[in-house]
């Protein structure tokens, strides 16, 4: 019922939001009679703030049109390579007509970025993708809003998440020989499970695995997020945050953890900071500080856009990752696509180098939680492991913003480059180098 009440309220406020937006433009236009009022700028700012607070935030676009690669502007085109019921494997294809740049792009590593399924859309990693595109062929998991997935498509469990990751890795291995995997926050756990299962079966595993700010061992330095998950029972979550999708969406009847409830939780973690941010936005509008106002809009366009998560996936994550700690206890079993339970054994990973990244001030995944992966992957030689602690960085700072671009990304890039070639890949590279090339084809085709 709560979901239906929320939707009714949202529909009721929609015309008021539209009115506030129109009024803000009317009072800010110097050619309008209303814009001649001495208080026009203040009134316009008030309406603009109301519009931002009342509007409905849809899924943002990645909006990456070009990047600098090897000093050359490269055009980016998004395509969906694999379309699953709950996720799209999205490719950022790079185009250039410069033959020298094209040859370099072709030889660059392939990276699968596994985005979090924890409330926000994959576009939260826009800065991550943009930086990676400079030196890599980039793919990302673009998770769908569960309320748009019809019940006929079935349920989505944490096991399905792990199986999706394995399928995407195999897809890239089939296309390129192998790949590198980067996981940010929540997916560090299912990605480690996916690679562990592949290793246990004797499959080829990714060349490297980069895990950033994730709850590999949520017992270490527990944060407010961890404490909530650990101090409330499984039944509490099931009874208090799970609702059925109303009839206005394709996923009618699906049990979900609604996005609007998640957003309420996000804001409740730092209410003073959000209040201050909106007040600063109001003052910037009055002053005419367009740059600061636009920065606020861009941040909250992303922050306020949230998706519904399938209830089974969410509840299983709470129980397995944050309450029973099955990964670190060695008691986690994942049901594969054939319906068979398989034990998750990170100790079976031997060929995949791994890098962990933590922020010194991370208030979502505490210190040591991600680094714990090294304690589990005992089969990986020490010289193929690395840990980075980013001084002064919070959770978002390790994958977005200045610290990500200047401190973290160069080390991630160098780590991937260091382990990019496996013994099996070397013959393929030599064969490719010996093959004749056609300049016309190079100009017409994309590299990544």
Provide the pLDDT confidence category of residue 29 given band limits of 50, 70 and 90: confident
pLDDT in tens, 37-72: 888 899 999 999 999 998 888 899 999 999 998 888
Angle CA 189–273–25, to nearest 5:
110
Whether 182 and 113 have beta carbons less than 8 Å apart is answered as yes
**Domains in the chain: boundaries:** 2-56+259-303, 66-238+308-420
Long-range contacts of the stretch 78-83 (C-beta < 8 A, 24+): 80/142, 81/139, 81/171, 82/167, 82/168, 82/171
pLDDT above 70 covers what percent of the chain?
94
Provide the pLDDT confidence category of residue 428 given band limits of 50, 70 and 90: very low
The overall average pLDDT reported for the chain is 90
Per-residue confidence (pLDDT) for residue 209, from 0 to 100: 97
Q: Which positions ≥6 away from 71 have C-beta within 8 Å?
A: none
Number of H helices, E strands in the chain: 18, 14
Q: If you average pLDDT over residues 289-313, what whole number do you get?
A: 92
Residue 227 to residue 213: CA distance in whole angstroms: 17
pLDDT in tens, 93-114: 999 988 888 899 999 999 999 9
pLDDT in tens, 377-387: 999 999 999 99
Residue 274 to residue 159: CA distance in whole angstroms: 35
Give the start-end residues of each E strand in 96-218. 110-114, 137-143, 180-184, 208-212
Provide the pLDDT confidence category of residue 268 given band limits of 50, 70 and 90: confident
Residue listed under structure tokens 């070397």: 426
Per-residue confidence (pLDDT) for residue 263, from 0 to 100: 85
431 compared with 152, residue with greater pLDDT: 152
Please state which of the ranges 8-17, 177-186, 208-217, 310-319 shows the lowest mean pLDDT: 8-17
pLDDT above 90 covers what percent of the chain?
73
Is 405 buried (19+), middle (13-18) or exposed (0-12) by CB count in 10 A?
middle
DSSP-based three-state secondary structure for 201: helix
Per-residue confidence (pLDDT) for residue 165, from 0 to 100: 98
Say if residue 423's pLDDT is above 50: no
Angle, helices 290-303/271-287, rounded to nearest 10 degrees: 150
User: Two tokens at 100?
Assistant: 């020298």
Q: What is the CATH number of domain 66-238+308-420?
A: 3.40.50.1820
Say if residue 3's pLDDT is above 50: yes
Is 164 buried (19+), middle (13-18) or exposed (0-12) by CB count in 10 A?
buried
Provide the pLDDT confidence category of residue 264 given band limits of 50, 70 and 90: confident
Q: If you average pLDDT over residues 328-355, what whole number do you get?
A: 96
Per-residue confidence (pLDDT) for residue 422, from 0 to 100: 61
Per-residue confidence (pLDDT) for residue 448, from 0 to 100: 54
DSSP-based three-state secondary structure for 308: coil
Task: Single out the residue of 195, 210, 189 nearest to residue 414, CA to CA.
Answer: 210
């Amino acid at each position: 019922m709560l979901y239906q009440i929320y939707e009714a309220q949202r529909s009721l406020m929609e015309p008021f939001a539209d009115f506030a937006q129109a009024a803000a433009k009317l009072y800010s236009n110097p050619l309008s009679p209303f814009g001649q009022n001495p208080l026009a700028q203040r009134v316009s700012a008030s309406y603009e703030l109301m519009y931002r607070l009342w509007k409905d935030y849809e899924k943002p676009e990645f909006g990456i049109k070009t990047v600098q690669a090897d000093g050359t502007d490269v055009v980016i085109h998004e395509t969906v390579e694999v379309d699953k019921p709950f996720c799209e494997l999205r490719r950022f294809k790079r185009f250039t007509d410069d033959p020298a740049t094209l040859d370099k792009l072709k030889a660059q590593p392939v990276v699968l970025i596994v985005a979090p399924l924890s409330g926000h859309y994959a576009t939260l990693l826009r800065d991550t993708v943009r930086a990676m595109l400079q030196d890599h062929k980039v793919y990302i998991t673009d998770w769908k809003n569960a309320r748009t997935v019809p019940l006929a498509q079935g349920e989505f469990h944490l096991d399905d998440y792990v199986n999706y990751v394995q399928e995407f890795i195999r897809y890239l291995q089939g296309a390129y020989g192998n790949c590198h995997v980067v996981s940010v926050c929540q997916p560090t756990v299912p990605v480690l499970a996916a690679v562990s299962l592949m290793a246990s079966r004797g499959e080829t595993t990714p060349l490297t695995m980069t895990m950033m700010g994730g709850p590999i061992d949520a017992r270490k330095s527990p944060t407010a997020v961890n404490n909530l998950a650990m101090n409330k029972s499984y039944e509490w979550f099931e009874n208090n945050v799970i609702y059925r999708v109303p009839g206005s969406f394709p996923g009618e009847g699906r049990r979900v953890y609604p996005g609007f409830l998640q957003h309420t939780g996000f804001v409740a973690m730092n209410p003073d900071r959000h209040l201050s941010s909106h007040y600063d936005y109001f003052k910037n509008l009055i002053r005419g500080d367009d740059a600061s106002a636009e920065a606020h809009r861009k941040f909250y366009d992303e922050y306020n856009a949230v998706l519904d998560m399938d209830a089974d996936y969410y509840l299983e994550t709470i129980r397995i990752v944050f309450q029973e700690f099955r990964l670190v206890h060695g008691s986690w079993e994942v049901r594969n696509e054939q319906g068979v339970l398989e034990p998750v054994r990170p100790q079976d990973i031997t060929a995949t180098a791994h890098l962990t990244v933590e922020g010194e001030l991370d208030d979502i995944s505490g210190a040591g939680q991600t680094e714990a992966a090294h304690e589990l992957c005992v089969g990986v030689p020490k010289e193929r492991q690395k840990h980075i602690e980013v001084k002064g960085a919070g959770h978002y700072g390790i994958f977005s913003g200045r610290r990500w671009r200047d401190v973290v990304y160069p080390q991630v890039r160098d780590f991937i480059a260091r382990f990019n070639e496996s013994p099996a890949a070397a013959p393929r590279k030599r064969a490719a180098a010996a093959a004749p090339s056609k300049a016309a084809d190079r100009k017409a085709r994309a590299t990544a």
